[in-house]
């Protein structure tokens, strides 16, 4: 390590961990009922028992589908060397059936040092696929077909999916088809002939709940024993970090982070920003580092739009929020004005404006994208009568009011009631 600053070395170690998806998701691989364990069992059974399998990995973007798959393939390569061959396709590049089969032939030829023909037709590549599956099956070698953006392969006649799944019906073949998609209904997009050959196995990758964040943070941020850092520095760093993670103030920051999104990728971006804010002179993370990281990754375009709103426009937004809570079937400018008048009559506010002034303020809210019409019907009607909906959540509106310096205290009081 030489004369390097221990804090800089620690920062480098943590940032390297965050950038390594396999390390991040190795935490979840230790759980017996995790998607890692289920996927590994499905693929390894094809290797050890010479059978064919197919499975879909479904979940939102950034939840770790591809990272877990890569971790499983890496571990199986170590456990069964020279018994697994991986072919990767992406629906954004290879959704065309002919293009996809050519890419399969190219990757297989490259791995097995065979001559690849760019001029081969679809039928020739189909025959080559069948022959290579048969030869690999006889050699007890499993081919894993990874189809990223699986839903894009379902467009058109689905000849590629049919060819792959139909070829796997042979007792001589030994293959696994792994589809990866952010569409939870991807299996419903399959044609009847393709669906009949699919195993109907699905692994759902749900977003990581807030309570899992502490385990993930400890897994990434705690310095390892074999890091070659001074023992006293490592012990002090880890002790301070555990105190921060157990602090109620830190848990409040995590709650704000997970309010809008709690995916693994969002949590990793948050940790990366916090580590980048670390004070290298003190050599440890602080609660302020995590607080500073929060606004840097949370884009709040609605709150930005609120900064230039007038007090009258804030009143109209709060009125719409109150109408939402009352669950009125119809919300238009006229019903908003009735709610605005009822607030004025109840609290005798000085912030009361004429109807034509309120209408102009309402039209500006439509232009800002904070309010929109419910549908395109009635385009010829006046904006006063068309149904509208609020496009900003209670949480976003409350935070926007808190950052608004000249916001009347009454609006804070009304929002707290509705919350």
Domains annotated for the chain, with CATH where assigned, are 6-16+225-298 (no CATH), 31-205 (3.40.50.300), 303-418 (1.10.10.10)
Residue 140 confidence (pLDDT) above 90: no
Split at pLDDT 50, 70, 90, the class of 124 is confident
What's the pTM value of the predicted model, to 2 decimals? Answer: 0.66
Q: Please give the Cα distance from 165 to 132 (Å, whole number).
A: 15
Average pLDDT over residues 184-195: 90
DSSP class of residue 208 equals: P
User: What is the percent of the chain where pLDDT is above 70?
Assistant: 93
Alpha helices (H) along 326-371: 333-347, 355-368
- Show the beta-strand stretches assigned E in 334-393: 371-373, 388-390
pLDDT digits (tens, 9 = 90+) for 201-212: 999 987 665 567
pLDDT digits (tens, 9 = 90+) for 214-229: 888 888 999 988 777 8
User: What is the percent of the chain where pLDDT is above 90?
Assistant: 15
Closest CA to 174 of 204, 212, 144: 144
Overall size of the chain counted in residues: 419
Pairing label, strands 53-59, 84-90:
unpaired
Task: Specify the 3-state DSSP secondary structure of 53.
Answer: strand
DSSP class of residue 64 equals: S
Residue 396 confidence (pLDDT) above 90: no
Determine the pLDDT at residue 390.
87
Residue 232 confidence (pLDDT) above 50: yes
Q: Please give the Cα distance from 153 to 52 (Å, whole number).
A: 20
pLDDT digits (tens, 9 = 90+) for 21-65: 888 888 877 777 788 889 999 999 888 888 889 999 998 887 788
Look over the chain and give the mean of its residue pLDDT values, rounded to a whole number: 84
Q: Please give the Cα distance from 409 to 419 (Å, whole number).
A: 15
Determine the pLDDT at residue 1.
47
**Per the structure block, which two tokens stand in for 208?**
């990581």
Residues 6+ away with beta carbon under 8 Å from 90? 147, 148, 149
Residue 145 confidence (pLDDT) above 90: yes
**Per the structure block, which two tokens stand in for 91?**
């629906």
**Per the structure block, which two tokens stand in for 177?**
């088809």
CA distances from 31 to 10, 25, 28, 240, 312 (A): 27, 11, 6, 27, 54
């Amino acid at each position: 390590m030489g004369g390097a600053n221990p804090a800089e070395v620690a920062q480098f170690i943590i940032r390297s961990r965050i950038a390594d998806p396999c390390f991040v998701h190795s935490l979840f691989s230790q759980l017996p009922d995790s998607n890692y364990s289920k996927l590994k069992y499905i693929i390894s059974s094809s290797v050890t028992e010479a059978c064919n399998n197919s499975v879909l990995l479904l979940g939102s973007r950034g939840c770790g589908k591809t990272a877990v798959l890569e971790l499983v393939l890496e571990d199986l390569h170590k456990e069964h060397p020279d018994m697994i061959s991986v072919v990767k396709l992406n629906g954004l590049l290879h959704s065309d059936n002919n293009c996809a089969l050519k890419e399969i032939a190219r990757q297989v030829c490259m791995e097995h040092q065979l001559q690849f023909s760019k001029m081969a037709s679809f039928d020739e590549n189909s025959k080559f696929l069948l022959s290579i599956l048969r030869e690999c099956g006889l050699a007890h070698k499993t081919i894993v077909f990874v189809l990223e953006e699986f839903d894009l392969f379902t467009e058109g006649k689905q000849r590629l999916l049919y060819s792959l799944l139909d070829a796997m019906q042979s007792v001589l073949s030994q293959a696994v088809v792994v589809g990866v998609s952010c569409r939870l209904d991807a299996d419903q997009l399959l044609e009847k002939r393709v669906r009949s050959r699919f195993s109907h196995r699905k692994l759902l990758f749900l977003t990581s709940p807030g309570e899992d964040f502490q385990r993930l943070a400890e897994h990434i941020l705690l310095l390892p024993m074999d890091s070659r850092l001074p023992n006293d520095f490592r012990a002090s760093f880890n002790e301070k970090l555990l105190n921060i993670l157990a602090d109620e103030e830190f848990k409040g920051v995590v709650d704000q982070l997970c309010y809008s999104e709690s995916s693994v990728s969002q949590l990793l971006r948050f940790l990366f920003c916090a580590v980048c804010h670390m004070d290298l002179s003190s050599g440890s993370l602080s609660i302020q580092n995590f607080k500073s990281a929060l606004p840097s990754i949370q884009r709040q375009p609605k709150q930005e739009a609120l900064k230039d709103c007038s007090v009258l426009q804030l009143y109209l937004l709060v009125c719409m929020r109150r109408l939402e809570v009352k669950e009125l079937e119809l919300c238009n400018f006229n019903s908003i004005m009735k709610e605005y008048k009822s607030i004025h009559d109840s609290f005798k506010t000085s912030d009361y404006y004429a109807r034509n002034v309120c209408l102009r303020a309402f039209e500006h809210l439509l232009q800002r994208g904070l309010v929109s019409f419910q549908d395109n019907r009635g385009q010829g009607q006046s904006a006063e009568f068309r149904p509208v909906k609020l496009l900003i959540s209670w949480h976003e509106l409350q935070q926007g009011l808190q950052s608004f310096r000249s916001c009347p205290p009454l609006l804070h009081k009304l929002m707290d009631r509705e919350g």
